Amino acid sequence: AQSVAQPEDQVNVAEGNPLTVKCTYSVSGNPYLFWYVQYPNRGLQFLLKYITGDNLVKGSYGFEAEFNKSQTSFHLKKPSALVSDSALYFCAVRDGDSSASKIIFGSGTRLSIRP
Amino acid sequence: DTGVSQNPRHKITKRGQNVTFRCDPISEHNRLYWYRQTLGQGPEFLTYFQNEAQLEKSRLLSDRFSAERPKGSFSTLEIQRTEQGDSAMYLCASSLAMISGGAEAFFGQGTRLTVV
């Protein structure tokens, strides 16, 4: 079975500082990893994904994420936070070795950027 | 608008009534997912389809929940004999079923169900 853990319920960062939102995963096969963002009263929006290749993937709004196979992690990062980045962030995983596997989401991390 | 469309956006129902939600996926997407989300929590997997075939249904889902995708296009999620614990946002998502399996899912705005 696959699972995702987001160990921090909330992350607080000052505007202009770098931010990291943590994610660890567990799958039996090769992981396909995703990050989504949810603004208040809005649906989930796709940010970026890791399928294969370069461990550092870049996505929307200046976000990037680093895949670390040995630590089974896929942390979301941004070099300089904006107040508008404040939202709920979800990490998700799919078992890449199973063509019929579903996407499982973590419990979410609320990112709060103070001016 | 070519995104995932869900109707209705809001539904208030009395306990014990049946409700049905509809999801229209992005037209070329053959995979369709249903999730449930409560306030401040992550989406909880309910079920998913590839074309018209329902490939998996969550063990957490009671027999009161059923989903269909009869022609491999739109899907419906029905909840029978609703309970207050069913109150949540019901999310639909769709994706391509790529050989690599790496396609991301695109979400609709959701249907917020309130059971009173």
Query: Which positions in chain A touch B100 (Cβ < 8 Å)?
Result: 51, 96
Lookup result for tokens 């509809």: B22
| Chain A contact for B23 (CB, 8 A cutoff) | no
Residues 6+ apart with CB under 8 A from B116: B12, B13, B14, B15, B84
Mark yes or no for CB contact B56/A107 under 8 Å: no
The residue type found at A96 is G
Mark yes or no for CB contact A49/B50 under 8 Å: no
Q: How much of chain A exceeds pLDDT 90, in percent?
A: 78
pLDDT confidence of residue B101: 64
Which residue is closest to B94 within chain A, CA to CA?
A103
Looking at CATH, the fold of the domain delimited by A3-101 is given as: Immunoglobulin-like (2.60.40)
Tell me which residue in A49, A96, A102 faces B48 most closely, judged by beta carbons: A102
pLDDT confidence of residue A99: 67
Query: Which positions in chain B touch A43 (Cβ < 8 Å)?
Result: 4, 91, 107-110
B62-116, pLDDT tens digit by residue? 899 999 999 889 999 999 999 999 999 999 999 987 666 678 899 999 999 999 9
Tell me which residue in B50, B102, B107 faces A51 most closely, judged by beta carbons: B102
CB pairs under 8 A between A and B: 63
Residue A52 DSSP class: S
Long-range contacts of A67-70 (CB under 8 A, 24+ apart): A67/A31, A67/A33
Angle value at C-alpha B53, between B45 and A29, nearest 5 degrees: 55
Q: Across residues B32-37, what is the average pLDDT?
A: 95
Query: Which positions in chain B touch A45 (Cβ < 8 Å)?
Result: 107
Please, which pLDDT band fits residue B60 given cuts at 50, 70 and 90?
A: confident
> Could you list the pLDDT tens digit for every one of the 115 residues in chain A?
789 999 999 999 999 999 999 999 999 888 999 999 999 878 899 999 999 889 999 999 999 999 999 999 999 999 999 999 999 999 999 887 776 678 899 999 999 999 9
Query: Which positions in chain A touch B50 (Cβ < 8 Å)?
Result: 100
Provide the b/e sequence for B36-73 (b: ≥16 CB within 10 Å): bbeeebbbbbbbbbbeeeeeeebeebeeebebebeeee
Lookup result for tokens 């070795």: A97
Q: What share of chain A is helix, strand, coil (3-state, %, to 5)?
A: 5, 50, 45
More confident residue, B1 or B86: B86
